[in-house]
Amino acid sequence: MIIGIPKTTEAGEHRVSMTPDVVARLTKENHEVVVESGAGEAAGFIDDAYVAVGASIGDAARAWSADVVCSVEYPSDQGLANLKSGAVLLGMLQPLDAPARLTALARTGVTSMAFEIVPRTTRAQSMDVLSSQATVAGYQAVLLAAEKLDKFFPMLTTAAGTIAPSKVLILGAGVAGLMSIATARRLGAVVSAFDVRAEAAEQVESLGAKFVSIDMEQQDSSATGGYAKEVAKDTQSKILAGLAKPVAEADVVITTAQIPGRPAPLLITRQMVEAMRPGALVIDLAAPTGGNCELTQAGTTVVHSNVSIIGPTNLPSMAAGDASRMYGRNALALMKLVLSEDGVNVNFEDDIIEGSVVTHGGAVVHPRVKALLDGGGN
């Protein structure tokens, strides 16, 4: 079986889909692994490291034309042209955020599996790319805030007097939010957090942060695969009203709330930003899907009323080494479901495979993605 590891082409993307330690496990099982030249360099993995574990180095065409291709991103035009019918492609394909382009992918005849829709079950935890990369994003968000903020995170007692600790508010206590809480706490900040999910309060408090309580009906995420869902208009109004004071009092607000396949929910209005102190920060991790702050612009920093609203689009790439290690291990776990001694075996009776495949046999087959296409999804 030939497995291809292509180099990423998107600007600012430094991750690689498989690191040498993962490739070593594949070559030991007698799979042939072709790594595009330079694929791992930006993440700290040179070609020689792959060769040392039994991989070969090739060009982009060779990597993309393998029997199984593992990518970080949606294929480039060259990648699409080189994919062969009947191959399997694994990657972050944005099936819910950009479903329209999957029709072009379907025409190649590949069976594509998107990490964004891998079922969130106990058995699939080792394949959960969203969680592993959100861990990196949550960590990096706090480091970015600490770098940009005009004050220290911890309380300091100095000869020049006592410096009060920074107040950090985390909106959304999923994987990224919980990592942000833990990291901000380690840096000595006073941390509080909010989430619409009922189980979040205990998780927040277990990390030593204060949970912001709002008089609203909280969600049971066990019914939605662990994700938050869109709230009703009256609940949205209660959330905005309840967050006004905590946002105004914060030195840093980190927002992480996203709903798969939907625009990010609004949590911070223009008026709320205007009530924050001059020099405060908003780090909006939901920037790629519209942002949790009304003023967020993806990929840039907006300054409004002396408050900086930062909209990063790829924080995991800022720690590309460890992000790639985690991604590769997730990818290997999913890949093993389709590898067999006889070649590629896509078994649709496996619930993880069924839930992850977006294109097969020349068509888009995932029900939710098909629904988005039928409804004019972007």
Instruction: Please give the Cα distance from 151 to 347 (Å, whole number).
Output: 55
Neighbours of 244 (CB within 10 A): 15
Angle at 60 between CA 317 and CA 22, to 5 degrees: 55
Q: Which residues are catalytic?
A: 120, 125, 128, 131, 227
Scan for tokens 């035009």, then name that residue: 77
- Per the DSSP assignment, residues forming a β-bridge with 359 are 112, 364
User: Rounded to an integer, what distance in angstroms lies between the CA atom of residue 92 and that of residue 105?
Assistant: 13
Q: Which helix (H) or strand (E) holds 235?
A: helix 233-249
N- to C-terminal Cα separation, the chain: 35
DSSP state string for 189-208: -EEEEE-SBTTHHHHHHHTT
Q: Determine the angle formed by the axes of helices 129-148 and 175-186, rounding to 10 degrees.
A: 40
- Tokens 């408050």: give the residue: 307
Place of tokens 């694929």: 39
> Which token pair is 158?
């100095």
Q: Pull the structure tokens for residue 192.
A: 């509080």
Q: What residues contact residue 294 under an 8 Å CB cut-off, 6+ apart?
A: 266, 268, 269, 270, 273
Which residues are CB-neighbours of 228 under 8 A, at least 6 positions away? 172, 174, 195, 196, 197, 219, 221, 257, 259, 265
DSSP 82-146: H--TT-EEEE---TTTSGGGHHHHHHTT-EEEEGGGS--SSTTGGG-HHHHHHHHHHHHHHHHHH
